[in-house]
Amino acid sequence: MLDYDLTRWGMPLRYAVETVGTVAFAASGILAGMRRRMDVFGISVLGFLAAFGGGTLRDILLDRRPFFWVAEEEMLWLVLAMCALSLMLWRRGRRAAVSAKAIQVADALGLGLFAASGVQYALVAQMSPLVAVLMGVVTGVFGGVMRDIACNEMPTAFADHRPYAVLAFLGGWVYLAVQWLGGPAWAALIGATLVTTGLRLLALKLDWRLPGWRPG
């Protein structure tokens, strides 16, 4: 049922958005490695961890094989090409011309889509609603968490004090709500993505803060 809906909704659209998410997360990892003056291998690992870490952890937790990057191997080649490209741009002394804002927008899009697709994969694997929503959070967030841990930093998702993972959690429940109301899988996927990504962009624009331990 789910897969049938997805097929009708159109693989090209899903594929395009997934590619954008992968590129965005890979870029965030590559830029993080450059900022820390890693060598070309460290930069590549961070790119791969950020782009594939969340989805791989989800696939391990759901016991889903082949991994999504084995089934859609062109994603691996894409990220490998990005790593090679970043190296070439770099050797010629040019700085990557990607503004921090562009990265944030792409990251918000990736967060929303990866979280929504994580919920869907978990539902296909017969998980309960809470587990499915948590799988969505894992898919959307843990690529960035692994990137930060490999950099030997406290993950920004844990101490950013702006809504991030909480929005993926919220988007997961939107997915389930659409489905409980009888909506098709494509509507749930788009609705969840829009809520997560839209609220993330709003949160960045309006500087929303999460409750947290404030010094003083």
DSSP letter at 151 equals: T
Identified binder of a copy of itself from the candidate list 161, 194, 198, 204, rule CB under 8 A: 161
Neighbours of 85 (CB within 10 A): 12
Residue window 134-153: x/- pattern of binding to a copy of itself, with contact defined by CB under 8 A: x----------x---xxxxx
Tokens at 82, concatenated: 């990005």
131 lies in the binding site for a copy of itself (CB under 8 A): yes
Which residue reads 């991994």 in tokens? Answer: 67
Which residue reads 């969340």 in tokens? Answer: 54
Q: Considering the complex, state which of residue 99 and residue 152 has its C-beta at the smaller distance from a copy of itself.
A: 152
Tokens at 142, concatenated: 């843990």
Cα dihedral: 79, 142, 95, 76 (round 10): 0
173 lies in the binding site for a copy of itself (CB under 8 A): no
Q: Considering the complex, state which of residue 34 and residue 105 has its C-beta at the smaller distance from a copy of itself.
A: 34
Identified binder of a copy of itself from the candidate list 4, 15, 158, 208, rule CB under 8 A: 158
37 lies in the binding site for a copy of itself (CB under 8 A): yes
Identified binder of a copy of itself from the candidate list 2, 166, 177, 187, rule CB under 8 A: 166
Tokens at 86, concatenated: 């970043």
Neighbours of 121 (CB within 10 A): 21
Tokens at 166, concatenated: 């909480």
User: Cβ of residue 184: shortest distance to a copy of itself, in angstroms?
Assistant: 26
User: By the criterion CB under 8 A, which residues form the site for a copy of itself?
Assistant: 33-34, 36-42, 45-46, 56, 60-61, 63, 65, 67, 69-70, 73, 76-77, 80, 87, 90-91, 127-128, 130-131, 134, 145, 149-155, 157-161, 164-166, 210-215
